[in-house]
Amino acid sequence: MTNHSITPSPNNPRVELINQASLQPFTTFGVSSTCDHLYRIDEIEELRLATQYLEDPLILGGGSNILPMGNITRNVLRVELKGIERVEETDEYALVKIAAGEVWHNVVLWAIDQDLAGIENLSLIPGTTGAAPIQNIGAYGIELSSVFHSLEALELGSGQQKDFLTEDCRFGYRDSIFKNDLRGRMVITSVTLKLSKQHNVHTSYGAIQQTLEEWNIKDPGIRDVSKAVIHIRQSKLPDPAQLGNAGSFFKNPVISASAFEDLKKQYPEIPGYPAGNEVKVPAGWLIETVGWKGKRVGNVGSYAKQALVLVNFGEAKGEDVWAFAQEIIGSVEQKFAIRLVPEVNIWS
């Protein structure tokens, strides 16, 4: 492996380059995969050069939502920009600008230390801040879009900065314009959130309220909620450092109310949650019901405590994980006529 710096030119932007790099240390799935060229960038001007001169790069942050398969021949650009600052403030809120390379959970902890509310329910979500708007990350009844203010991004090809407000991002359930019309066209450099100085905690989703009651906390603050979320996630989800995974592998499918009622007649126990005029069905329940929870094939399996999480038990390849996922998709579709869609990005 060669590791060296290169100087600016139309073909060689000034970034750290690793040739024939293993992607295993840079992705939480830990699958065996390589890329021809990995560029690590921690300065905005270097990133601007890279967006101008690198042809069709893949963007890598914390690697927590990526399944690489085989050798990646495209350039891989890892964004490592750092920094958090308050850019505007009133008695009610603070606008906080966060560089794309900041680890998301560290941002949550920083906000709590600053007594700023709004993202405590999003504790322990893996990945970097730059990836958060792309996925419109969410957990325990809160989505990033509920606190989002704006973001800055660089356009691939031109290096031109573009600013996006909430309405520009077209946020949806685990979705945004960056996964659709602008997929592969922008590199997010910073995200600005509107965080509240007036705490209105959300404890009704999942087991948060139950956990707080078990701890005999009757008037929880944002730090209490964060600790409860961390406790719940750690009890249900594997630590990627111990067992390779990318969190929830599939999206929870959203189906029409009429389709859900038809399924309810066949499967009275099927859970569902209102999603506008539609119904969100837990993918984990579907996977467990067709018998894949805790099942293992070679070095890949469905986690015993949460069927929605696929895990790497050893030296699995991306192709092994994808083949396992396809089997699950087929089983669920055959039984429920619902086709699961991966939440994880597939690189090949």
What residue segments make up the domains of the chain, in order of their start?
8-79, 84-235, 244-347
The hierarchical CATH code for the domain 84-235 is: 3.30.465.10
CATH class of 8-79: alpha beta
Mean pLDDT (10-residue bins), the chain, 348 residues: 38 70 93 92 93 91 92 93 97 98 97 98 95 94 96 96 98 93 96 96 90 96 97 91 92 95 96 90 96 97 95 93 98 97 92
pTM: 0.85
The pLDDT score that the predictor gives to residue 11 is 53
- What CA–CA distance (Å, rounded) separates 53 from 46? 11
CA distances, 207 to each of 127, 204, 216, 229 (Å): 23, 8, 14, 8
Using alpha carbons, select from 236, 320, 333, 249 the residue that is nearest to residue 290.
333
Q: What is the DSSP letter of 90?
A: -
Write the CB contacts of 228 (distance below 8 Å, at least 6 apart in sequence).
203, 207, 208, 211, 212, 215, 220
Using alpha carbons, select from 74, 82, 40, 35 the residue that is nearest to residue 58.
74
Q: 186 forms bridges with which residues in the sheet?
A: 155
Using alpha carbons, select from 310, 306, 348 the residue that is nearest to residue 329.
310
- Active-site amino acid positions: 174, 248, 343
The pLDDT score that the predictor gives to residue 10 is 45
Considering only CA atoms, give the Rg of the chain: 21
Maximum CA pair distance of the chain? Answer: 65
- What CA–CA distance (Å, rounded) separates 104 from 107? 5
Q: Which fold has domain 244-347?
A: 3.90.78
